[in-house]
Amino acid sequence: MISNIQIMTAQPNINRRKFLKVTALAGGGMMLSFNWLAGCNPTPDEVLAMPKEWFSLNSYIKIGENGIVTLMAPNPEFGTNLKTSLPMILADELDVDWKNVIVEQADFYPERFERQFTGGSQSVRMGWKILRTAGSTARKMLVNAASKKWNIPAEEIATSAGMLIHSASGKKAGYGEMASFAATLPVPDNVPFKNVKDFKIIRTSRKNVEGKNIVTGKPLFSIDHKQEGMLIAMIVHPPAFGLKVKSLDEALVKSMPGIKDVFVIKTLEDGYEHNAFDTTSFYELPVVVGNSTWEVMQAKKQLKVEWEEAQEKKVTVLGWGGNKEDVVIPAGRESTETQRKKMMAMSGKPGKELRRDGDPEKAFKNAAKVIERTYTAPYLAHNTMEPVNCFAHVTADKAELYGPIQAPEFIMKTLVARLGLPKEKIHISLARMGGGFGLRAYGHHFVEAAVISQKLNAPVKLVYTREDDMTYGIYRPTYTATYRAGLDKDNNLIAFHVRGGGIPEHPVEPNRFPAGAVDNYLAEGWEIKSNITIGAFRAPRSNFIAGAEQSFLDELAELAGKDPIEFRLELLRRNKNNPVGKNNAYDPGRYAGVLELVREKSGWTKPQENVSRGVAAYFCHNTYVAQVLDMKMKDGTPVVEKVTAAVDCGIVVNPDSAANMGEGGIVDGIGNALFGEMTFDNGIPAKNNFHQYRMIRQKEAPKAIEVHFVPNDEDPTGLGEPLFPPTFAAVANALYRATGKRYYEQPFSKQINSRQPLL
């Protein structure tokens, strides 16, 4: 299944080779090729403070002779603030003063950096040991340098905020003074990490290193890029899934002002072996190229294209672990209504068994009470605020690309195959992304821009309109799940069954809670193929199944006559004391910890009057979250007064930034639960811009959000996704208390009998 990004969560080997020093640096020169990107605008003071010479201690760290330190942010930034948090980890182990640090975004250099993938909430978790190793190793090289220069045993030399200190003799030196010598020393092995109690930068709030550039409108995004001779390109993709280009009438458009060329490109060649992030939306695209964006937009509107039905297509996809899979892209034009009927038919039949404990059939027969509920959710469009774009300059012997991409490693493979250039000749610069949410793991725009540039032999910036972007596919899949539970006469949960499916993947996570806490358990999944393309969307699968499961548990607790938090805690105790089955994918203690913390922080036992509260919890992407959402109805419209969240993600690297991420996930969850929806009519996406696709806006955002972190010293896990999935259920459960009605179908705004149109 092409959206499965679980593979990216395997802990990488920390490969010492990558800590070796980068090639010698010329005086004052930048180590990497950033200068061709605008975006850095140093003030006169900063220019004076720039060192004359840099000494590279490893791929991540270089130190100037005056003590200024440059730290590389290896992963592409899409808004989770990695560009600040990852270098903070380096800086703490290196033991430098944060104010003397310059952060640079690394280009894609897999031979220098361990992991340049952003997604799956893994960057901090997977970067933790890598960056601590890079920082502590560089620090040790500086200590060794001082030890040799001063002729003092290394063990007697301490460091503090960029200084090397030998207290017995009173000797002191700045890192800058030792850097040139340190850079010539061998890279030491197995350098111990700092004790977490000694962190000085990690666990303190540091502002976004790009903050000032953002508020002053600096060109930070690839859509802002410009260079001599650059042309603007736009695509015209088929209006419906199931269609392809038949012919083009380019004559009229070619003569329009500012237009340079009109042609059709093939994105991926026939017989090409796909990888998991190659998009199969459309294989041929008409392209209009011209001098300026507006001129190309105008021409694109006039372009006459004849479309025809696409045939069924078979492609080979090289999946995870090197397994090849033949995937069929069906022909035909699909509609939401017919898809829905197919899904309902499938959900009535047994699916593929994913997990079985005990004897669920017998237990359901013996149950005193049985409850069954079905939940559904539509496709969702990512709608990153920055539309798809990419800069490419491809010549006969090399290619330069600069664009928004979460998974550069994968698109590099595609580019090598499509352009016929070796990877050493293809250079990818990682742009700050105007949002990613999983969508930018798919780099079709890199291929499109590169193919256009190669054909024209000119630098090109490809830009999508919002309409192109919203109707191109790679949606969050549409899902359904049916839950069934059996209680005995004492209201103990004795049987649990989930059967989930979707187009084209099922959302069931069979080993997650409440698996392991119920004696008789069955999980099944089924899938229906489609030519409507899908992709990872903030917390794939969890973003549906959490809402369904946690809404169901709320209703189940009510049926059992139990407090919804206590009901969950009871199941978690059961798992802790006497777990059922194997492979239970959660730690019941940490799970209970967030429920207990949210109970305390939300004042759960003393609710305010006139406020309807919903609780939900979920564990995904290695992080535990519980939320209480307070709602009021105003003229029949839900108003979210407050959301209180408790989160266990281990050590919190950058607390205020972590809270910001939590707030964003919650707002996104409320928005998609209430409004998010893409539908199809005869293969045509029914919404193409924000006048039709409703996004959460300022007035609909909660009045307050509190994000509380469980204090512990566990290694950190991620935050980009985990706050998002449980929010759907917190909304549904609060809506139930506010309206007396349960909500099974997303988006919920369609189900609310508002006396007033929703805002």
Partner 1 sequence: MAKINLNVNGKKYEVDIDPDTPVLWVLRDHLDLVGTKFGCGMAQCGACTVLLGDDAVRSCVLPVSNVQDKQITTIEGLSAEGDHPVQKAWLEHDVAQCGYCQAGQIMSAVGLLRKSPKPGEEEIAAAMHGNICRCGTYLRIRAAVMTAANS
User: Could you list the residues that contact ligand FES (CB under 6 A)?
Assistant: 79, 385, 435
Q: Is 697 in the site for partner 1 (CB under 8 A)?
A: yes
Q: Which residues contact 89 (CB under 8 A, 6 or more apart)?
A: 124, 127, 128, 131, 132, 135, 202, 653
Query: 233-245: b or e for each residue (b if 16 or more CB lie within 10 Å)?
Result: bbbbbbebbbbbb
Q: Minimum CB separation from partner 1 for residue 38, in Å?
A: 9
Q: Which residues touch 361 (CB under 8 Å, ≥6 apart)?
A: none
259 binds, among partner 1, ligand FES, none (CB under 5 to 8 A by kind): none
Question: What is the spatial distance between Cα 598 and Cα 645, in angstroms, rounded to a whole number?
Answer: 6
The residue within the footprint of partner 1, chosen from 85, 122, 376, 660 (CB under 8 A), is 660
DSSP 193: P
User: Which residues is 623 bridged to in the sheet?
Assistant: 620
Tokens coding 438:
């999983």
Q: Which is nearer to partner 1, 414 or 660 (CB)?
A: 660
Residue recorded with tokens 């409004």 = 675
Residue 423-442 contact track with partner 1, rule CB under 8 A, x = bound: ---------xxxxxx-----
Please, what is the minimum distance in Å from the beta carbon of residue 452 to partner 1? Answer: 18
Closest CB 201 distance from partner 1, rounded Å: 16
208 interacts with, out of ligand FES, partner 1, none, CB within 5 to 8 A per kind: partner 1
**With binding defined as CB under 8 A, does residue 387 bind partner 1?**
yes
DSSP SS3 for 295: helix
Tokens of 596: 């207990």
Buried b or exposed e, range 263-278, using 16+ CB within 10 angstroms: eebebbeeebebbbbb
Please identify, using beta-carbon distances, which residue of 593 and 720 lies nearer to partner 1: 720
Closest distance of CB 743 from ligand FES, Å: 27
CB of 727 to ligand FES, least distance (A): 18
In the bound complex, what is the minimum distance in angstroms from residue 616's beta carbon to partner 1? 17
Considering only residues 190 through 209, tell me which ones interact with partner 1, judged by CB under 8 A.
205, 207-208
Q: How far is the CB of 435 from ligand FES (least distance, A)?
A: 5
Nearest distance in Å: CB 79, ligand FES: 5
Binds partner 1 (CB under 8 A): choice among 120, 665, 683, 716: 665
Q: Where are the alpha helices (DSSP H) in 233-335?
A: 251-254, 293-302
What element of type H or E holds 685?
strand 684-685
CA dihedral 327, 333, 337, 339 (to 10 degrees): -10
Closest contact distance (angstroms) between CB of 382 and partner 1 is: 8
CB 232 within 8 A of CB 389: no
- Tell me whether residue 387 or residue 477 sits nearer to ligand FES (CB atom): 387
Orientation angle between helical segments 542-559 and 564-577, nearest 10 degrees = 100
Confirm or reject binding of residue 466 to partner 1 (CB under 8 A). Answer: yes
In the list 149, 695, 737, 758, the residue contacting partner 1 (rule: CB under 8 A) is 695
Exactly one of 127, 664, 676, 683 binds partner 1 (CB under 8 A); which one?
A: 664
Produce one character per residue of 46-60: b if its CB has 16 or more CB atoms within 10 Å, e if not: eeeeebebbbbbbbb
Total residues contacting partner 1 (rule CB under 8 A)?
Answer: 69
Q: Which does 257 bind (CB under 5 to 8 A by kind): partner 1, ligand FES, none?
A: partner 1
- Report the alpha-carbon distance of residue 686 to residue 672 in Å, rounded: 17
Q: Which range in 131-139, 218-226, 557-565, 575-583 contacts partner 1 by CB under 8 A?
A: 218-226
> Which residues make beta-bridge pairs with 290?
232, 259
Which of these segments, 380-388, 526-534, 604-612, 678-686, binds partner 1 (CB under 8 A)? 380-388
- Shortest distance, CB of residue 386 to ligand FES, whole angstroms? 8
Q: How many CA atoms lie within 13 A of 379 on its CB side?
A: 29
Point out which span in 74-82, 301-309, 546-554, 611-619 binds partner 1 (CB under 8 A): 74-82
Distance, CA of 334 to CA of 651 (rounded, Å):
47
- The partner in contact with residue 376, picked from ligand FES, partner 1, none with C-beta cut-offs of 5 to 8 angstroms by kind, is none
Given 386, 505, 509, 721, the residue binding partner 1 (CB under 8 A): 386
Q: Which of residues 249-278 bind partner 1 (CB under 8 A)?
A: 257
Told to check if 113 binds partner 1 by CB under 8 A, we report no
The contacts of residue 80 (CB under 8 Å, 6+ apart) are 118, 123, 661, 719, 720
Selected from 698, 740, 753, 755, the binder of partner 1 by CB under 8 A is: 698
- Is residue 218 part of the contact set for partner 1 (CB under 8 A)? yes
Q: Which does 666 bind (CB under 5 to 8 A by kind): partner 1, ligand FES, none?
A: partner 1
Q: In a 3-state reduction of DSSP, which class is residue 642? A: strand
Q: Which does 16 bind (CB under 5 to 8 A by kind): partner 1, ligand FES, none?
A: none
For partner 1, the closer of residues 51 and 664 by Cβ is 664
Please, are residues 264 and 282 in contact by the beta-carbon 8 Å criterion? Answer: no
Among 11, 292, 338, 457, binds partner 1 (CB under 8 A): 292
676 contacts partner 1 (rule: CB under 8 A): no
Burial of 167 (0-12, 13-18, 19+ CB in 10 A): exposed
CA triple 276-76-137, angle to 5 deg: 110
Residue ranges binding partner 1 (CB under 8 A): 41, 43, 77-81, 205, 207-208, 210-212, 214-221, 223-224, 226, 232, 257, 292-295, 297, 383-387, 432-437, 463, 465-466, 656-657, 660-661, 663-668, 671, 689-691, 695-699, 701-705
